[in-house]
Structure 1
Amino acid sequence: MPNAPHQSFQPLDPGRVNTMDPVELRYWCDQLHCGEDELKDIVDRVGEHVAAVRQALEERRGQR
């Protein structure tokens, strides 16, 4: 979807994943190549910092 609203979206705080904003949630799912439920689960577990979320996703993917 080249013209999707979230394609040009930039989060207000690029170091933090905000799962409460639907546009930002879709943005981070696209950036991190994960689903909404998976991202919300990771954020609940490790917090909102992008580095921690990326690391947790990589660890989870390594276990599959």
Structure 2
Amino acid sequence: MDNKTITGSPDSKLINTSEYYEVEYWAKKFNVGAEDLKAAVKAVGNSAAAVEVYLRKN
């Protein structure tokens, strides 16, 4: 379980779209909107690498 009192960078391999701060972080990293990020995760899963490849192609 995530400890909300300890903050740091999100997991570098997985995207958790249930956590707003992770959505914000990854959306900014991939230069997309939050809804685009969530759609990519829905399409290919929560692997950051897979989402990055998906977003580059679309």
TM-score using structure 2 length: 0.83
Q: Which structure has more helix as a fraction of its residues?
A: 1
CA RMSD across the alignment: 1.3
5+ residue gaps, structure 1: 1-7
Q: Which one has a bigger Cα radius of gyration?
A: 1
5+ residue gaps, structure 2: 1-6
Structure 2: which amino acid aligns with 1:40? K
Tell me the percent identity.
33
- Name the structure 2 match of 1:10: 9
Alignment of 1:33-52 (within 5 A): 33-52=31-50
The ranges of structure 1 where at least 4 consecutive aligned residues each deviate by more than 3 angstroms after the TM superposition are none
TM-score using structure 1 length: 0.76
